[in-house]
Amino acid sequence: MLNYNHAYILERYQNQLKNLFNKRYIFDMEIDTSNINFKKMNEINENLHEVKKSTKDYQIAKLSNKDWRSYTKFMHMMSNTIHSIKNRYKVTFCTQAYLKCRELLFLSHDWFFQKYKTHTKIRILHLCEAPGAFVYAIHDFYQLPTVEKDNSFFEWKMNSLNPFIKENELCAFKDEAGLMERFSENMFYGSDNTGDILNFTGEEIKNLIVDGKYDFITADGSINSMECQGKQELNVLPLIEKEILIALETLNAGGMFIVKMYTFFEQETQVLITKLCQMFEKIQVVKPSCSKASNSEVYLICLNFYGSEIFVEREKVTCNIVRCSEIFANYQIEAIQINKDAYDSVLLKSPIANQL
């Protein structure tokens, strides 16, 4: 029989389940700025930082880092999805990144449908993409039987750290799917052959578009911040800045850009988001269902590239950033707290654990 504490935790867990596909925020440039406390960002940041810090202390006191990762993976509502989809639908390369991309593509299907109606063959660029889950996701989205160099719907180019050189052997993703070797002509590693976009010069960015600009760009780059969660946003910032710079230089007017980001607390991040608001008609922030609820990962779907800056009221952008940050921070804080409460209450040792 459930005690009160167990029932309360399950109720909160079920509330998270209801919101699983609703973790989205669309930037509203008509937002009323009168009810927004601009100083609230510090409070949101501090609250999230304290919860993350308490998790680190919790790991030290009760679990090793490895055990905590295994436990939070178990608590992740979509942890069995990869296995289920592999078996049911015979997906060639089903990973968490693949499923996240499929969900993001579904949310953007109107844009693709408009392109399809005009019989336009679109050009796609994948930045920081290895081992290639987004490439597979887009081929499956178009219901194509196999990945090809190009096809009647689109042509694609892919960048990642080069896994075939010694300099990258410790940091690059392996060519698990075999895409990078099989489609070497679709790869772009830059003049130093490392694939590190932080090294790309203006000339190399121009080389990306010798055959024309792109209609759709994805940027799924990240940097391991497990040991310094409190500085994750700053650690990843240079990479995100470069991804956005490349996208703005290589995207066609009317194009779409999807980029992975984390929290929006730093001034430099807010400048980047303001830039995106000046360059795209619509910005939607999404936490895909397969993204672990206890982390800060989100994706920005940026639709209909203007090609040049338009005027936006910075105060309205800041209002949206505050509201968006509060929403996603609350989701994350609640997920972390449920993980800790469920462990402390020994709920997982009770028969009811099978319902999780």
Mean pLDDT of the chain: 90
Q: Where are the alpha helices (DSSP H) in 160-299?
A: 179-182, 202-207, 232-250, 267-279
Q: 323 Cβ partners below 8 Å, 6+ apart?
A: 25, 31, 36
The one catalytic residue in 115, 260, 287, 292 is 260
Task: Find the mean pLDDT for residues 211-232.
Answer: 88
Phi and psi at residue 13, to the nearest 5°: -65, -40
Mark whether 23 is an active-site residue: no
Instruction: Render pLDDT for 173-217 as a digit per residue (tens, 0 to 9).
Output: 889 889 999 999 999 999 999 999 999 999 999 999 999 999 999
Q: What's the predicted TM-score (pTM) here?
A: 0.93
Task: Write down the residue that tokens 């296995």 correspond to.
Answer: 83
- Beta strands at 154-158 and 251-261: parallel, antiparallel or unpaired: unpaired
pLDDT for 35:
81
The whole-angstrom separation of Cα 280 and Cα 331 is 26
- Asked if residues 114 and 151 have their Cβ atoms less than 8 Å apart, the reply is no
Q: What would the pLDDT profile of 38-69 be if each residue is shown by its tens digit?
A: 889 999 999 999 998 887 776 666 666 667 77
Domain that holds residue 132: 4-355
- Amino acid identity for residue 297 in this structure: E
The domain that holds 145 is classified in CATH as: 3.40.50.12760
Q: Are the CB atoms for 19 and 338 separated by under 8 Å?
A: no
* Residue 74 scores a pLDDT above 60: yes
8 Å CB contact between 144 and 153: yes
Number of structural domains found in the chain? 1
| In contact, 276 and 283? CB cutoff 8 Å | yes
Closest CA to 141 of 222, 80, 216: 216
Q: Report the C-alpha gap between 108 and 54 in whole angstroms.
A: 37
Annotated binding site for S-adenosyl-L-methionine: which residue ranges?
132, 220
Q: What is the pLDDT of residue 170?
A: 66
Write the pLDDT tens digit of every residue in 116-170: 888 889 999 999 999 999 999 999 999 999 999 999 999 999 999 999 998 887 6
Q: 211 burial class (0-12, 13-18, 19+ CB within 10 angstroms)?
A: exposed
